Structure 1
Amino acid sequence: MKTLPSLSLAGIIITSLLGCQSSNLQYQDNKTSHQLQQSAVNSNLGYDIVESLTVEVGPRLAGGKNDLVAVKWAEDKFKSLGYDKVYKEPVKVPVWSRGDASAEVVSPFPQPLVITALGGSVATPENGLTAEIVRFHTLADLKKAEPAQVKGKIVFIDQKTERHKAGNGYGKSVGGRSKGAIAAAKKGAVAIVIRSIGTDHDRMAHTGAMRYKDGIKKIPAAALSAPDANQLNAILKRDKKVVISLKLSPQHLGYSTSYNVIGEIKGQNKPEEIVLIGAHLDSWDEGTGALDDGAGVSIVMAAGKHILDLPTRPARTVRVVLYAAEELGLIGGKQYVKTHKNELNNHYIAAESDFGAGYIYRIDVNVAPQKFEQVKNELSSMKINGVELGNNEAGGGPDVSMMPSLGVPVASLRQDGRDYFDYHHTPNDTIDKIDPKALAQNIAAYTQFAYLMAQSTTDLRPIKKK
C-alpha cells in the first residue's frame, strides 16, 4: 500500500514532463512559424513565380494549345525550386475552342453589344440567329415562366452580382450562367445571354463554364458586359420588343490528356502523412490567368519553397498540387481523389488557394469538433500575419471541396475578395491587378499553415462530413 503514493507521484512527474515537452515543442513550432512568416513577407519569390507563369505561358485553357506548355512549366518550376519529388498524373479533359462572338441590337435601336461565349457553349448557325429577347431577373424567375413566354426567343437573365468581402454574391448569381441554358431550352428558347457574373462596370464580358443536360436541346450561351446589360434594360424601358442577333463559333473538339502536377517535400518523421496545399494550373483564355489562378499557383509553390529552406524538415510530407481543368468543372480535383482513393486516410488536412491575391484575414477549418480549440491554439501564431482564427465550417476550396465528404479535414484561408469579381474570367485578369505585398502575406499564411499542420500532434478526425 505504501507504493501507491510513489506511483501517483511518478505519474504526476511523467505527466508534468510530457506537458513540458509538449509546451516546448509548441514554442519551437511557433518560433519557426514566426520566422517563416517574416521570410515570406520579405520575399519576392511569389511574384516572380506568377510573373513567370503569366509571361512564359500566358492563358492556359485546359485542352488548349498552352495546356501542356503550362504542365511543363510547372514541372520545371518545382524542380528549380528544389522539391524532393516532382511528378504528374493524367487527367482526361474536354477540348473546347472559343471561336468568335458578336451580337447587336437589330431593333428598335440598332447598335453593337459586347459579348463572349460561355465556356462549353455550342455555336449558333453559321450566319447567326436573330430573335426577340425575353428578360428575367433571375434563373428562378425563368423557371417559373410559362413556355409560351419563352418559345422561339433569346432569354436574357439580368441578375447583378453583389460585392462582398467573402465573394458571397457570386454564389447567388452564378446559377444563371451554369444552369440557364438548360432552363431556357426546356421552355423552347433558341439561345441565352446573361449579365456577366461580375462586379465591375467595365465593358468587358465575363466568361465561365456552363452546362447542358442529356435529352435537352443544346442552345448557344453567351455573357454580356455589365454596361451592355444596362443598355438592353434602357432599350426595354422604351420598347418591350427588342430584337438582337447573335453569332458564336465555338467548337467541341473531343478530349485530350492534361495533368495534375505535384511537388512534394518529404516529411521527416511521418512521411506517409500528407498536408496538401493546392491551386489550379488552368485558366480561361481571355486574360493571362494572373488572379485566377496564377496567384494561387505562386502562393502554394512559394509556401513549399519557404518550408524547403528550413534547416530541418517538418514531421509530415507537404504536398503541393496544381490541379488540371478546374474551370471546366473541377475535373482535376475529382480525378485526384480517384487516383489517391487508397491514400486519403493519410491526408492529414487539405486547403486550396483559388480566390486571387487579396489579404487573408481569417482561417476556418473543418476538423473533429472536440479538437477545434486545440487546432486553433496550434495555429495561433498566424495572428502575427493578420490572420484571425475562425470557425469549424470550412469547405477547403474548389478542388478539395469533395474531400470532407470522404472524411478528409480541410481548411479555408479567407481572402478579401471585394474586387476579385471585377477581373474574374475577363481579359482584365492580368498581373498588374496583383498587389505584391498582399501576395506575400498570402504566401506567409499558407507557409505557416502548412508547416504548423505538418508538425501538429492533434488527431483531426473524425470530421463532420458535408
Structure 2
Amino acid sequence: MRRPALALLTTSLLLAGGFANAADTGIPATAVKTAEQLRDKALHDDTAYQVVKSLTTEVGPRLAGGPNDQRARDWAVAKFKALGFDKVYTEPATYPLWVRHHESGSIVAPFPQQLVLTALGYSPGTPKGGLTAQVVAFDSLAALKAADPATIKGKIVYVGYRMQRHQDGHDYGMGSAVRTAGAVVAADKGAAGYLLRSAGTDAHERIAHTGVTGFRPGGKAIPAAALSNPDADQLERVLAYGKPVTVKLDLDCGIVGEYTGANVIGEITGKKYPDQVVAIGGHLDSWDPGTGAIDDGAGIAISMAAAKLIHDLPQRPDRTIRVIAFANEEMGLWGARAYADKHAKEVANFMLGTDSDLGAGKVYRMSASVKPEARHAIQQIADVLKPLGVAYDATRPGGGGSDLGSMHAKGMAALTLDQDATWYFDWHHTSNDTLDKIDPRELAQNVAVYAAWTYMAAEADGDFGSAPGAFAGDGAED
C-alpha cells in the first residue's frame, strides 16, 4: 500500500515545483523567483546604456577589417573584464576585406543633378573617371529576374522597391533581397552597374542605407550603390518623362584581400555544469557611416548587462553564461559561421541560445525551437516575461537570431525574441545610427528579458533538446 502513496506524493511534489511530469524539463520555483527579481532589477539598471555609450563614443563605427576593428576587439576584452566576467578570450574569423574610400553619383541627362548614394558591401569600384550609362528601371526583384538580358546589357539597373514600416520589420526581407540578390541578377544579365532604392523606411531623410550585396571574391560583380529615398523618388520622376536617363557612378571601393578578425567571448562560469552553456550575444562590427548604436551596439550592451546582473547574484548559476561579440555579421555572418563550425561537435552542450540584433526597441514576442518535453519550461519563461509585455507564440519557431542562428542550424535549441522594429529601418545602416536613437527605458526592458530567460535556462532541471541536426527543417530559416 505504500508504493501508490509514494507515487502520488512524488507527482504532487513535481506539480508543486512547476513540472508537468517527471520527464519534462522545468525551472525550479526558487530559480523562477530569482528570475523575477533579476527582471525587476534590470528595469532600473543602466549598465547596458553605459556599455553602448562607451562603445559608440570610444570606438565609434566598426567596419569589419577597418581601422576600428582591432580597437573594438580590445574594447570588448577590456569591457568583459571590467564587468567581472570569469573568462575572456577570442576566436579567429577570416573573411574578405572590403574597403570604402569615395562614392558619388549624378544624373547626367536629361536633367543634370547630383544624387545622394552609398556604395554597397563587396561592390567593386568603377573605372577611373567613373561609369556613365543609361538607366533601365524595375519596380521589383521579380521583374528584374524576368527581364530579357538584351534590355539590360551595358546599362545601369535600378530597382525601386519601397519598404514600409511594420512592427516586425518584415519588409526588410524583400528590401535586403533586392540589395543582395538583385545586384547578382543584374550582373549575371550583363548590367554595367546597379542601383536600388535604399532598404529603409525613412521617407524624408536624404541619407542612403548601405548594406552588403551577394557578390563574393572570384565571382562576377559590378559597381553597386543605394540611393537615399528622396533621391530614388527624384530618379523615378525623371524616368517618368519617358526620355533616356543617363547616370554617372564614381565609386572607389572593393575587396583588397583577406582579413583575420575575431569573435570576443566572455563567460560567467556555471557552478554545477560549467561545460553546459546558455549562449547570448550580438555582433561587434557595424557599418561605417554611423556609430553602430542600434546595429548592433545595443545587442552587445543588452547581453553584457544581462550577464552582469546574473554575475552579481549571491551564487553563480548552475550552467555557464556565454556572451559572444561576433565578428563581421554585416558582410556575411563570417564570425557566426566560424563559431558554429568550431563548436558544432559541442552543440549538445548548448542548452539554449539567441542573440540581439534588431536595435533597442522593446521585446514584444517570444518563440522557441525546443524538444516537446521542454515546452513546459518555455512556458515558465514566458510567464516571467509576460509582465514586460512579451507574448509567447508557441506556433512559431525560434531561430536563435542573426548570429546564433548558425548554431541553431547545427542543432542548438533556440529562442527568437522579436523587438519592435517600427522605426528601426529609418536609421539602419545609415549615418543616423547613433546613440540618440536608443531609449534607455526600452533598452532596460531588453536587459530584463535577457537576464530573466538566460538565468532560468541556466537553472533548468533537464535540457531543451540540443543535439546535432535536432531542429533541421523547423522553419526558423524562413
Q: TM-score, normalised by structure 1?
A: 0.96
Return 347-356 or 28-37, whichever deviates more.
Answer: 28-37
Q: AA paired with 2:336? A: G
Structure 1 residues 17, 418: CA separation in 2 closer, same or farther (over 3 Å shift)? closer
Query: Does residue 369 of structure 2 align to residue 366 of structure 1?
Result: yes
* 1:465 counterpart (467, 472, 477): 472
Return 431-440 or 336-345, whichever deviates more.
Answer: 336-345
CA distance in 1, matches of 2:2, 2:59: 70
Q: AA paired with 2:289? A: E
* 1:56 counterpart (55, 58, 69): 58
* 1:319 counterpart (319, 322, 330): 322
Q: AA paired with 2:52? A: V
CA distance in 1, matches of 2:428, 2:216: 26
Deviation at 1:238, TM superposition (A): 1.4
Query: Does residue 205 of structure 2 align to residue 232 of structure 1?
Result: no
Q: AA paired with 2:80? A: F
Deviation at 1:17, TM superposition (A): 4.1
Number of the residue aligned with 1:292: 295
Q: AA paired with 2:231? A: D
Return 338-347 or 221-230, whichever deviates more.
Answer: 338-347
Deviation at 1:337, TM superposition (A): 1.1
Number of the residue aligned with 1:186: 188
Query: Does residue 203 of structure 2 align to residue 207 of structure 1?
Result: no
Query: Does residue 18 of structure 2 align to residue 12 of structure 1?
Result: no
* Alignment check: 8 A CA contact 2:17 2:29 kept: no
Number of the residue aligned with 1:271: 274
The Cα offsets for residues 88-113 of structure 1, whole Å up to 9 and x where unpaired, read as 11111222111111111111111100
Q: AA paired with 2:37? A: Q
Number of the residue aligned with 2:256: 253
Instruction: Look up the SS of the partner of 1:131 in the other structure.
Output: strand
Q: AA paired with 2:415? A: A
CA distance in 2, matches of 1:62, 1:314: 34
Number of the residue aligned with 1:47: 49
* Alignment check: 8 A CA contact 2:198 2:210 kept: yes
Q: AA paired with 2:183? A: A
Query: Does residue 362 of structure 2 align to residue 338 of structure 1?
Result: no
CA distance in 1, matches of 2:298, 2:31: 27
The Cα offsets for residues 238-271 of structure 1, whole Å up to 9 and x where unpaired, read as 1331111110000322112111001101112121
CA distance in 1, matches of 2:264, 2:282: 10
CA distance in 2, matches of 1:214, 1:264: 35
Query: Does residue 178 of structure 2 align to residue 176 of structure 1?
Result: yes
* Alignment check: 8 A CA contact 2:27 2:456 kept: no
Structure 1 residues 216, 460: CA separation in 2 closer, same or farther (over 3 Å shift)? closer
Number of the residue aligned with 2:458: 454
CA distance in 2, matches of 1:415, 1:215: 37
Structure 1 residues 183, 119: CA separation in 2 closer, same or farther (over 3 Å shift)? same
Deviation at 1:390, TM superposition (A): 1.8
Q: AA paired with 1:412? A: T
Q: Which runs of 5+ in 2 are unaligned?
A: 20-25, 474-478
Number of the residue aligned with 1:380: 383
Q: AA paired with 2:8? A: I
CA distance in 2, matches of 1:284, 1:342: 32
Instruction: Look up the SS of the partner of 1:193 in the other structure.
Output: strand
Query: Does residue 404 of structure 2 align to residue 408 of structure 1?
Result: no
Structure 1 residues 143, 303: CA separation in 2 closer, same or farther (over 3 Å shift)? same
Number of the residue aligned with 2:476: none
CA distance in 1, matches of 2:2, 2:249: 88
The Cα offsets for residues 5-48 of structure 1, whole Å up to 9 and x where unpaired, read as 12222333344345445679733222211211121110111110
Number of the residue aligned with 1:397: 401
Deviation at 1:279, TM superposition (A): 0.3
Q: Which runs of 5+ in 1 are unaligned?
A: none
CA distance in 2, matches of 1:182, 1:15: 60
* 2:160 counterpart (145, 158, 161): 158
Instruction: Look up the SS of the partner of 2:345 in the other structure.
Output: coil
Q: AA paired with 2:418? A: R
Q: AA paired with 2:292? A: G
* Alignment check: 8 A CA contact 1:184 1:192 kept: yes
* Alignment check: 8 A CA contact 1:379 1:452 kept: no
* Alignment check: 8 A CA contact 2:344 2:407 kept: no
Count residues with an aligned counterpart: 462
Deviation at 1:326, TM superposition (A): 0.3
The Cα offsets for residues 202-260 of structure 1, whole Å up to 9 and x where unpaired, read as 10010001122677532100000000000011111113311111100003221121110
Structure 1 residues 25, 390: CA separation in 2 closer, same or farther (over 3 Å shift)? closer
Number of the residue aligned with 1:139: 141
Return 380-389 or 257-266, whichever deviates more.
Answer: 380-389
Instruction: Look up the SS of the partner of 1:234 in the other structure.
Output: helix
Q: AA paired with 1:69? A: R
Number of the residue aligned with 1:356: 359
Q: AA paired with 2:460? A: S
Return 46-55 or 137-146, whichever deviates more.
Answer: 137-146
Instruction: Look up the SS of the partner of 1:95 in the other structure.
Output: strand
Q: TM-score, normalised by structure 2?
A: 0.93
Number of the residue aligned with 2:30: 28
